Amino acid sequence: MTTSSADGAPIGLVDRLLSPFAEVRGGEGVSVLVLFANVFLILTAYYVLKVVREALTIGGIELFGFQGDEIKAYLPAVMMVLLIGIVPAYGRLVNAVSRVRLLNLTMAFTMLTLVGFWLWGRAAGVGTAIGLSFYVYLGIVNVFLVAQFWSFANDVYTETQGNRLFAIIALGQSMGAVLGPRIAAFGTDRIFDLLLISAALFGACLALYHVSNRLAGSPEPESAAAEPVAAEGPGEHERSGFGLVLRKPYLLLIALMILVSNVVNTTGEYILANAAKRHAEATVTALSAEREDEVAEEVRTRLAEDPALDPATVREDVRASLLKLERSSEIGRFYGRFFFWVNLIGVLTQMFLVSRILKFAGIRAALFALPLVAFGGYLAIALTSSLVVLRVAKTAENSLDYSLQNTVKQALFLPTTRDEKYKAKAAIDTFFVRLGDTISAALVFVGLNVVGFGAAAFAWLNVGMIGLWLGLSAGIARQHRALSSPPADTPRAADTPDA
């Protein structure tokens, strides 16, 4: 039995247990498991909060005659505007404090605000004000917390370590997304108490951050300003996340790639939702015998309450309501099957394929996997307009997005400076993601209400956008080749991790 890895470090039990999923070398297993558990808890807490968000938004918002399900489509634009001010403020905080203090402050802020929302909800109940506030709050906080986690992971691992180990860590993200809704299902009758559960999970995350920080093993300066910045240009350390993105072509290309890929995916989600709706309407064309009995009973009840009502009108109203309910149930079944296969394929891909793809093909080649799969999928959708083709294409796209593409996006920041890891990454993973949501919403609105697009036209639009996506990926690959360090698991002189 092998007792030491290629670098001579002794291989422990944890290292051996993780070896089927990635190349884990001696002494790395414990730190990988801690980071795995950390991102697992972050995503678990987020998906618990996502259930709260939907309950407060869809069930509790009504503003100027608009209902929650419509209002939520426009809220990413509000988040985008707020992020214009929040991202530079976060950058100043990164400059002012050490890594550990940054984590302490942001996680404490998240836990305290969740307690604040719990107190608000217990006092006022469900309503428009708390529903709008919480939707915007969670949409901003979530992307910051996930971006900050991966900034930390990029900071404590060297480039070659990250290329080998991120596949395992990202598996925790996928698994947390599966567990979170299950936990929330047990507390939907006490929806506000789920906020406290999530706050407790974030407290555990903070403890794990401190464990990871100790395992990194080198002393930490008092503040970011005290860290070596030899590789950065004059005034670089004072730049905001936006300034760093606009100054460095590599970061700008990543930002534009994430924006374009988000537009493609979000527009594809509309195509799928529209197809699911049409499928339900075609499938549920008549009520079952049991439902017809419900119609008769409801008609008798209403006529007993108000004999002046027209029986035929009441019957049609009741039948229309029940038919709508049946179609909603069919949509739920459609998405239940869809999410099952997306999550299953995504987790299996993350467990057994991602680390091997990155090892044998490399980060730069892996950049092209998702856009090529998406290109073939949307081209097939545009040519066939088949629901089966659409389901297969979106399943392949989403499962690959949640597994390989997610790992690649995080690993792209391994050869960057610490300021770029924390400040630029935060700007890219928050503002540019929400900007993509907003652009997609605008395209769908104009396509439906001005141009008169159908599903095939939106698919052709995505095919064109993916051409741009492939071009951006090629540019990122060239820049990454120039920035990438030699294949050695030693810290870069200009970017030595603090512990």
Residue 340 C-alpha from the chain's centroid: 17
- Residues 142-150, mean pLDDT to the nearest whole number: 93
- Predicted local confidence at residue 400, as pLDDT: 96
Question: Do residues 244 and 416 make contact, with C-beta atoms less than 8 angstroms apart?
Answer: no
Q: Is the pTM of this model over 0.75?
A: yes
- Predicted local confidence at residue 227, as pLDDT: 46
Q: Do both 98 and 210 map to the same domain? A: yes
Over residues 383-403, the pLDDT tens digits come to 998 999 999 999 999 999 999
Burial of 268 (0-12, 13-18, 19+ CB in 10 A): buried
Distances (CA, A) of 469 to 159, 258, 267, 394: 24, 9, 14, 17
Quote the tokens at residue 12: 């422990």
Question: Do residues 96 and 223 make contact, with C-beta atoms less than 8 angstroms apart?
Answer: yes
Domain containing 402 equals 244-284+331-485
Position 300 in a domain: no
Position 322 in a domain: no
Domain boundary among 180, 200, 216: 216
- Residues 188-217, mean pLDDT to the nearest whole number: 91
Residue 218 has, within 13 A of its CA and on its CB side, a CA count of 11
Question: Do residues 397 and 370 make contact, with C-beta atoms less than 8 angstroms apart?
Answer: yes
- Residues 171-179, mean pLDDT to the nearest whole number: 88
Residue 329: which pLDDT band, with cuts at 50, 70 and 90?
Answer: low
Domain boundary among 216, 236, 261: 216
Over residues 68-110, the pLDDT tens digits come to 555 666 788 889 999 999 999 999 999 999 999 999 999 999 9
Residue 190: which pLDDT band, with cuts at 50, 70 and 90?
Answer: confident
Q: Do both 267 and 143 map to the same domain? A: no
Question: Do residues 197 and 204 make contact, with C-beta atoms less than 8 angstroms apart?
Answer: no
Hey, which residues does 425 pair with through a beta bridge? none
- Predicted local confidence at residue 238, as pLDDT: 53
- For the chain, what is the domain count? 2
Long-range contacts of 340-344 (CB under 8 A, 24+ apart): 341/395, 341/399, 342/394, 342/395, 342/398, 342/399, 342/402, 343/174, 343/177, 343/178, 343/399, 343/402
Q: Do both 181 and 269 map to the same domain? A: no
Task: Determine the Cα–Cα distance for residues 214 and 460; give it in Å rounded to an integer.
Answer: 51
Position 315 in a domain: no
- Residues 285-310, mean pLDDT to the nearest whole number: 75
Position 320 in a domain: no
Domain boundary among 169, 197, 216: 216
Identify the three-state secondary structure at position 491.
coil
Over residues 197-211, the pLDDT tens digits come to 999 999 999 999 999
Task: Determine the Cα–Cα distance for residues 73 and 314; give it in Å rounded to an integer.
Answer: 33
Over residues 358-369, the pLDDT tens digits come to 989 999 999 999
Quote the tokens at residue 49: 């909060």
Return the CATH number at 468: 1.20.1250.20
Q: Do both 271 and 209 map to the same domain? A: no
Q: Do both 273 and 204 map to the same domain? A: no
Task: Determine the Cα–Cα distance for residues 274 and 341; give it in Å rounded to an integer.
Answer: 19
Does residue 319 have a pLDDT over 80?
A: no
Q: Do both 344 and 202 map to the same domain? A: no
Residue 374: which pLDDT band, with cuts at 50, 70 and 90?
Answer: very high
Q: Which of 434, 418, 442 is nearest to 84 (CA)?
A: 434
Task: Determine the Cα–Cα distance for residues 395 and 388; give it in Å rounded to an integer.
Answer: 11
Q: Do both 162 and 268 map to the same domain? A: no
Position 128 in a domain: yes
- Predicted local confidence at residue 353, as pLDDT: 93
- Predicted local confidence at residue 287, as pLDDT: 62
Return the CATH number at 178: 1.20.1250
Over residues 229-270, the pLDDT tens digits come to 434 454 554 578 999 999 999 999 999 999 999 999 989 988
Position 309 in a domain: no
Q: Do both 259 and 341 map to the same domain? A: yes
Q: Do both 275 and 151 map to the same domain? A: no
Residue 496: which pLDDT band, with cuts at 50, 70 and 90?
Answer: very low
User: DSSP assignment of 384-422, as one string?
Assistant: H--HHHHHHHHHHHHHHIIIIIHHHHHHTTTTS-HHIII
Q: Which alpha helices (DSSP H) does 217-310 contain, by range?
A: 241-247, 249-283, 289-305
Q: Do both 169 and 256 map to the same domain? A: no
Identify the three-state secondary structure at position 448.
helix
Position 103 in a domain: yes
Q: Which of 199, 239, 27, 221 is nearest to 113 (CA)?
A: 199
| Angle (nearest 5°) at CA 75 between 71 and 79 | 170
Position 295 in a domain: no
Task: Determine the Cα–Cα distance for residues 39 and 174; give it in Å rounded to an integer.
Answer: 9
- Predicted local confidence at residue 495, as pLDDT: 39
Long-range contacts of 212-217 (CB under 8 A, 24+ apart): 212/31, 212/34, 212/35, 212/38, 212/152, 212/156, 213/99, 213/100, 213/156, 213/499, 214/499, 215/30, 215/31, 215/34, 215/156, 216/31, 216/156, 216/497, 216/498, 216/499, 217/499
DSSP code, position 449 = I
Q: Do both 392 and 472 map to the same domain? A: yes
Identify the three-state secondary structure at position 100.
helix
Q: Do both 272 and 164 map to the same domain? A: no
